[in-house]
Structure 1
Amino acid sequence: MFNINRNYELAENEGSSLQTGNKYIVLHETTNIGAKANASYFKNNWATTQTYVQYVIGDGGKIYQVGADGYQAWGAGSYANANSPVQIELARTTDKATFKKDYATFVNFARSKAKQYGIPCTLDGSGNGIKTHKWISENIWGSHTDPVESYLEPFWGITHEQLTHDIAVGIEDVVEPKKTFTNINNVVTTLKGNVKAYATYKLDGSANSTTDIAPGTGWISAGIEMINGEPQYCIGGNIYIPQSITTFKDKVLINSDIPVHAVNLKGEVVGANLDGGSAWKYAAVVNVPKVGYCYKIATDMYLPLKYAQGSGYKG
């Protein structure tokens, strides 16, 4: 029924050798784009990051296996890991047709694995069942809110109630998302660079010691903040990456579908409106009175950060 890609499956001497109990199937989302890239990252970094799951789903309904069924994955804390024979990550996408396939496979595959291990096809109820990572955080351990609050609902309109229904009955017809996500608004990509991984930061400027990200990977940003003297994109709960490690290292792409305005150093609107989607080099980031932080894109011409790709602004 399901075609599983095993190119990134851990070898026998990799990952945990501990078997699990059969209480939960845990549902996650990756926070970044592309299932193949995430599966590859788990395969190549499981030992250093101490994180991986059994399956990653995405790229148009494809399934990539990483960990072995029935053996502990490292995705949801010690108790959940010890009692979940399968944990599944849903990779993000900005394409509507791709998401429809991904979501249907995510739901139906979770149901299939639950039935295989005698686990009820109920979402976030009491006792055994299919659990979101948020349920694990609220009832056992952790602080994650995936996959519903972090991805499914804000980006595609799939509520917890909808996911609960779909987990209970399955999906025959591919679901139609209630929202359409616009590509240019939020996607940022890390530089390929000659590095193994990039550090991420918290809003207070301190490093996230357990959350590094791979070079050349795409991420959906929820906003831009000034941290440690430079713009940083929010790619998860209190997880930020500097603009300087992305393909927007020295430029800004206006993320509006309509023209936007620039201001001068006094905060006054100046010049003609700037076309949505146009790219501009910037010389510095300046805190403009009454406006806030802005990219300096010309002499006495400043573009508010909120208009840049990665800010979530939609015009």
Structure 2
Amino acid sequence: MTKYFADVSSFQPDNLGFFQGLVNAGVSGIMIKTTQGSPDGDNYLNPKSTNQARNALAAGMNVGFYHYFLASSVADSINEAKFFEQSVVNLGFGKDTPLCVDVEDSTLNTSNVASYVDTFINYLETQGYTNVFQYSMASWFNQGILNANKHPTWVASYGSSDCGARGNIVAWQYTSNWGGGSQDMSYDWGIFDKQPAKIEATTQPTVEPKHPKVENVIKLTEQTHPVDRLGIERPEIYEAGSTWKSSNIVMINDEPNYQIATDIFVPVSKTTFKDFIIVKYMGDSPAPVFDSKGNRVQNASVSTGKSFKTAGFKVINDIPMAKIATNEFIPLEYTSGSKFE
């Protein structure tokens, strides 16, 4: 059965009858705009969002929220993400709520907006939100302004035979005049179908996983200016204690750096991983250990999830490695925060 969801802002009604009418027409979900910009910018909060959420739930609808994106820097992106998150918290919704960043404003810098979106989504995911995605028109994905493969994507394409873009498409907004009015409508291909992690009853025995779960989340230990791929310091400052999801470990200025967005990096030395590592390797296979000359150490290997206090880093045969013993090293590629799968 085809599933539909509508999206609303302050331009739509907030009464129960409106949402009940959608349900009666076969629409099971709703995405509600809560915020636009940041407290330092537009500082816009949809005045109808509380009633819209309450009455959508009363009508039996699935509810998610979206934020209208206006960021012009990484710092802006974080401020907007925090502003949006607080609106969701204030409405009483949990971490599995569908959350979307609406990226379409004509004032956005199309050369840099993808990295700003990465930062926005990364922030929400590091706060524990499990159903975060991006929205824009098909042309922005086809022109390479945004990447439909990098994040789950809700795409807008009206009057076409399909969604108009390719990638990790989870919804298609196919019309802006559903029902003969000015209501947007979308096909749901996974947004509201995504199930939260099951919580076992307390009477059930706890089963330990075969391998510990390795999370690519890093935490800053001091105020930090990130750098770009060439090692040029960026103007924004990230606060001590902030957490980020790393997608790779890259050597910049002879120091390993975690990649936290398209062209944004923070030094390992300014994170809680400055003097220890967590091993990340393949399934049941143990990670190999090497000596200072790059030779594999016989009868020495370590399993995924095992942590080591390190004695610094060394580049051996052009491969950055962490020192875990007098003459034993593990490639940083095999540690948490890398892109190794």
The normalised TM-score by structure 2 is: 0.52
DSSP-derived class of the 1:311 partner: coil
Deviation at 1:4, TM superposition (A): 8.4
- Indicate conservation of the 8 Å contact 2:287/2:304, yes or no: yes
Deviation at 1:275, TM superposition (A): 2.1
Could you tell me how far apart the structure 1 residues matched to 2:250 and 2:96 are? 32
Partner of 1:190: 220
Alpha-carbon distance change, 237 to 277 in structure 1, aligned in 2, over 3 angstroms? same
Structure-2 change in CA distance of 1:17 and 1:60 (3 Å)? closer
2-structure distance, mates of 1:190, 1:173: 34
| Aligned partners of 1:185 and 1:313 also within 8 Å | no
Which residue does the alignment assign to 2:338?
311
> Match for 1:190: what amino acid?
L
How far did residue 287 of structure 1 move?
1.7
Are residues 144 and 184 of structure 1, via their aligned partners in 2, closer, same or farther at CA, if it must alter by over 3 Å?
A: farther
CA distance in 2, matches of 1:276, 1:223: 17
**Which letter does structure 2 place at the counterpart of 1:150?**
K
Aligned equivalents of 2:76 and 2:278: distance in 1? Answer: 35
Q: Which residue of 2 aligns with 1:164?
A: 172
Cα offset, 1:50, TM superposition: 4.5
Indicate the structure whose relative CO is greater, using CA pairs within 8 Å and at least 6 residues apart: 1
Structure 2 counterpart of 1:159, which letter?
G
How does 1:110-149 map onto structure 2 within 5 Å?
Answer: 124-125=137-138, 138=143, 145=146, 148-149=148-149
Deviation at 1:241, TM superposition (A): 0.8
Indicate yes or no: 2:299 matched with 1:274.
no
Unmatched 5+ residue regions in structure 1? 19-38, 66-72, 82-87, 111-122, 127-131
Residue 277 (structure 1) shift: 1.0
- What are the residue-to-residue correspondences of 1:47-58 with 2, within 5 Å? 49-51=75-77, 52-53=79-80, 55-56=84-85
Structure of greater Rg? 2
Q: State the match for 1:120 in structure 2.
A: none
Structure 2 gaps of 5+ residues are 1-18, 20-29, 45-66, 89-93, 110-116, 154-165, 175-184, 197-211
Post-superposition shift, 1:164?
A: 3.2
Q: Indicate whether 1:229 and 2:248 are aligned.
A: no
Q: Distance in 1 between matches of 2:337 and 2:327?
A: 24
Is 1:242 the equivalent of 2:267?
yes
Query: 1:214 is matched with which residue: 234, 239, 242?
Result: 239
AA of the residue aligned to 2:246: S
SS at match of 2:269: helix
- SS state of the match for residue 233, structure 1? strand
> CA 1:272 to 1:245, structure 2 compared with 1: closer, same or farther past 3 Å?
same
**Which amino acid in 1 is paired with 2:41?**
G
Tell me: CA distance 1:284–1:93, structure 2 relative to 1, closer, same or farther (3 Å): closer
Deviations 1:7-26 (A, max 9, x none): 99966xx42489xxxxxxxx
1:222 aligned partner, one-letter code: S
Distance in 2 separating the partners of 1:275 and 1:49: 38
RMSD: 4.7
Q: 1:47 to 1:266 in 2, by over 3 A?
A: closer
Deviations 1:106-146 (A, max 9, x none): 68xx7xxxxxxxxxxxx5246xxxxx6x57xx4xxxx8635
> Measured at CA, do residues 64 and 77 of structure 1 come closer, stay the same or move farther in structure 2, by a change above 3 Å?
closer
Is 1:174 the counterpart of 2:193? The answer is yes
Shift of 1:47: 11
Task: Report the Cα distance in structure 2 between the residues aligned to 1:275 and 1:229, rounded to whole angstroms.
Answer: 28
* SS state at 1:200 partner: coil
